[in-house]
Amino acid sequence: MHGAELLRKVVVDDAGGIRDAWLAILAAGMTAHGGRAREGELRTQAGIVVSQLGEGLAAGDLDADGSGFAPLRETLADISRSRALQGFTPTDTANFVFSLKEPVFEALGRACGSGSPDLATGVVSAGKLLDRLALHTMETFLASREEVIGRQGQEIAELSTPVVRLWDGILALPLIGTLDSARTGVVMETLLQAIVDEEAEIAIIDITGVPTVDTLVAQHLLKTVAAARLMGADCIVSGIRPQIAQTMVHLGVELNVVSKATLADAFAVALRRTGRKVVRQQAPTEERR
């Protein structure tokens, strides 16, 4: 008997048996992994997968990438995508499909009887098909993970480069984290655009959130300052902590810009330069407290 035909017959005729045996294996694996998937959900998923496997085989094809298996691939993709988001391990996800082998092989054995040449053909066909489906599941799983990572990367890039308007003509750019080249480009672009939009005279670059200032970071800072200057805005660098100051001196980096220890100091300088000052309207009194 042809491999696909035999397999179809077994999967369709013995669907209930295969599903129950598979569920038992899945449930055993589930308790070992802390029971992430709910049993009812697992039962539904297993039922759908087994019946769609039968439908796919009914098309008379053993090619897992063929059109007959499209609905099954879609189901498996959905399952692995949701598993990726729920934080399942790759092993758990791959095992979901791999563990279907055992019940299918057993069902083939029951249908053919041991020692039958058909059994070997059936096992090889089933093995090939399920391996390919498992790989497909893994591909979707990894793609979903990468999607999550990519989105987080974008979110971080956007989060960490806000330009804040402190007053008319005074901007602040609080830098956070590592200043690698890709992000520095975004930072520079955002700042220069904001200088145009806000008609800023002074931009304060705050590096309180930058853990390490080495020569590359210093060079990026100097380039940003030079570009801002060309656009008619002066820069003040603030948030230079004592240990960073000492390190920069040893490195031999000279920042030829006004720099201040805190953002507040830098803001005071910026106000003074633009002809403003902050005054107390009223002396603090006991009544006001």
Partner 1 sequence: MAVTRTETLPIRTGDDVVRVRQRVRALAVEIGLGLVDQTKIVTAASELARNTLDYGGGGDVMAEIVQAGARLGLRLTFDDQGPGIADIEQAMTDHYTSGGGLGLGLGGAKRLSNEFHIASMPGKGTRVTIARWK
By the criterion CB under 8 A, which residues form the site for partner 1? 178, 180-181, 211-216, 218-219, 242-244, 246-247, 250-253
Hunting for tokens 């992994």 — which residue is that?
A: 33
Least spacing, CB of residue 217 vs partner 1, in Å: 9
- Four-CA torsion 163, 166, 171, 173, nearest 10 degrees: -40
Closest by Cα among 210, 244, 243 to 224 = 210
- Closer CB to partner 1, 44 or 215, in the complex: 215
Alpha-carbon span 104 to 15, nearest angstrom: 9
- Closer CB to partner 1, 164 or 226, in the complex: 226
Alpha-carbon span 57 to 7, nearest angstrom: 7
Alpha-carbon span 93 to 78, nearest angstrom: 12
Residue 171 β-bridge partners: 165, 203
Least spacing, CB of residue 252 vs partner 1, in Å: 5
**Helices and strands of the chain, counted as H and E runs:** 11, 5
- Closer CB to partner 1, 70 or 251, in the complex: 251
Q: Residue 272 CA to chain centroid, in angstroms?
A: 45
Least spacing, CB of residue 222 vs partner 1, in Å: 8
Least spacing, CB of residue 245 vs partner 1, in Å: 10
- Closer CB to partner 1, 15 or 253, in the complex: 253
Least spacing, CB of residue 184 vs partner 1, in Å: 12
Least spacing, CB of residue 246 vs partner 1, in Å: 6
- Closer CB to partner 1, 247 or 274, in the complex: 247
Residue spans of alpha helices (H) in 160-210 = 181-198
- Closer CB to partner 1, 124 or 245, in the complex: 245
Asked if 137 and 79 count as a contact pair (C-beta separation under 8 A), the reply is: yes
Residue 212, CA distances (Å) to 153, 180, 223, 250, 276 in order: 20, 11, 18, 14, 34
- Closer CB to partner 1, 158 or 180, in the complex: 180
- Closer CB to partner 1, 166 or 244, in the complex: 244
Least spacing, CB of residue 142 vs partner 1, in Å: 18
Residue 283, CA distances (Å) to 31, 143, 288, 289 in order: 68, 62, 10, 12
Q: How many Cβ atoms sit within 10 Å of the Cβ of residue 34?
A: 7
- Collapse the DSSP code of 203 into the 3-class scheme (helix H, G, I; strand E, B; otherwise coil) and give the result: strand
Give me 285's structure tokens.
């009194």
Asked if 8 and 50 count as a contact pair (C-beta separation under 8 A), the reply is: no
Least spacing, CB of residue 163 vs partner 1, in Å: 24
Give me 51's structure tokens.
């019946």
